[in-house]
Amino acid sequence: MELVRATEAAAIRSAPFIGKGDKLAADGAAVDAMRKFLGTVNFSGLVVIGEGEKDNAPMLFNGEVVGNGQGPACDIAVDPIDGTSLTAAGRGHAISMIAVADRGTMLDASSVFYMEKLVAGHEGIGVLDIRQSIAENIRALAAVKKKPIDEMRVAVLDRPRHEGLIAEIRATGAGTRLILDGDVAGGINAARHDSRIDLCVGTGGSPEGVATACAVKALGGFIQGRLAPGSDEERARGAAAGLKFDHVYEADELVRSDNTFFVATGVTDGELVRGVRRERGIITTESIVLRSRSGTIRRVTADHLENKWLDS
């Protein structure tokens, strides 16, 4: 619940910027709020996946230590707004998120920006493989789910680099769910038992892949990742950091801990969580809390008195 307070705060503070066209202002407000509330949490959290650099505070930078220093030592991944462009445009599916695992267990993939990812529910374990073609994976997953291929839905980031992938998906008879931004939520929706998304594929941010793995492990789902450096220089940086190329990272390599937490609060409405609402002096937020060790999925709806946020 302490972590939920931090994502709630980030979502609430970014809400006034929804649809205003200024993603930097929205992100800045969310970062400030998240940092403030993380400082009250009973843990020593090392930011393995953050944003910005130390000299550009108040960004939550990689290597920063947050929390009150009491309680367990943890690795954390933060994204005050996953979907800043969505927020600025007033589109759906933007979230504020925090992922937590035991100290030293999160893969630090920050030196390589992109990662190819394949995410599904528990049915994908032992069935899917990122080294197979997307057509083979769709057919294999449809068979184990006992679902017609033309009812399969595959989430993909809507980017020019995915034009060929999208065409391959549609050639199988499956449908696509094109994501404008924020593939963390797309991956989680693919792993949920009650989602209309069967699979999430494509190349997105490496840090987001690690954060998604924390959630997928809590959902008992399937995830694989393969680093996709954009240049020889980036490949060299990754190699110097100990990263492996032409290697498939399984869930337990992305996050080695079996005790992961994932918390997200909706900024704008999406399939995962509803966005922030204001009505008659009340701010309403919806959050999801996942924990791998207990295998629990909790939804938290909270009403906040607006006047308490005026000067906080």
Residue 7 and residue 54: Cα distance in Å, rounded? 21
Residue 219 and residue 194 in contact, taking contact as beta carbons nearer than 8 Å: no
Three-state DSSP string of 133-161:
CHHHHHHHHHHHHCCCHHHCEEEEECCHH
Decide: residue 144, CB within 10 A, 0-12 exposed, 13-18 middle, 19+ buried.
Answer: middle
pLDDT per residue as tens digits for the range 207-253 = 889 999 999 999 999 999 999 998 999 999 999 999 999 899 999 99
Strand partners, 44: 73
* Residue-level pLDDT at 4: 93
Q: Compute and round to an integer the Cα radius of gyration of the chain.
A: 19
Section 84-90 average pLDDT: 91
Judged against a pLDDT cut of 60, whether residue 261 lies above it is answered with yes
* Residue-level pLDDT at 49: 84
Judged against a pLDDT cut of 80, whether residue 119 lies above it is answered with yes
Sign of CA dihedral 120, 121, 122, 124: negative
Tell me the one-letter amino acid at 292: S
Section 157-168 average pLDDT: 95
Look at residues 215, 216, 273 and name the one whose alpha carbon lies nearest to residue 92: 273
Q: What is the dihedral of CA 116, 114, 248, 244, to 10 degrees?
A: 160
pLDDT per residue as tens digits for the range 167-199 = 999 999 999 999 888 788 899 999 998 889 999
Token pair, residue 270, equals 């999406």
* Residue-level pLDDT at 58: 52
Residue 299 and residue 290 in contact, taking contact as beta carbons nearer than 8 Å: no
Residue 225 and residue 202 in contact, taking contact as beta carbons nearer than 8 Å: no
Residues 6+ apart with CB under 8 A from 280: none
Tell me the one-letter amino acid at 188: I
> Among 132-146, 188-202, 222-236, 296-310, which is the least confidently predicted range?
296-310
pTM, whole model, 2 decimals? 0.89
Section 16-21 average pLDDT: 94
Could you tell me the pLDDT band of residue 110, with boundaries at 50, 70 and 90? Answer: confident
Residues 6+ apart with CB under 8 A from 35: 58, 60, 66
Residues 6+ apart with CB under 8 A from 233: none
* Residue-level pLDDT at 63: 84
Look at residues 287, 292, 260 and name the one whose alpha carbon lies nearest to residue 275: 287
* Residue-level pLDDT at 52: 56
pLDDT per residue as tens digits for the range 27-82 = 999 999 998 888 888 889 899 888 755 444 456 788 888 888 888 899 999 999 98
Could you tell me the pLDDT band of residue 9, with boundaries at 50, 70 and 90? Answer: very high
Residue 112 and residue 243: Cα distance in Å, rounded? 9
Token pair, residue 52, equals 């910005």
Could you tell me the pLDDT band of residue 271, with boundaries at 50, 70 and 90? Answer: confident
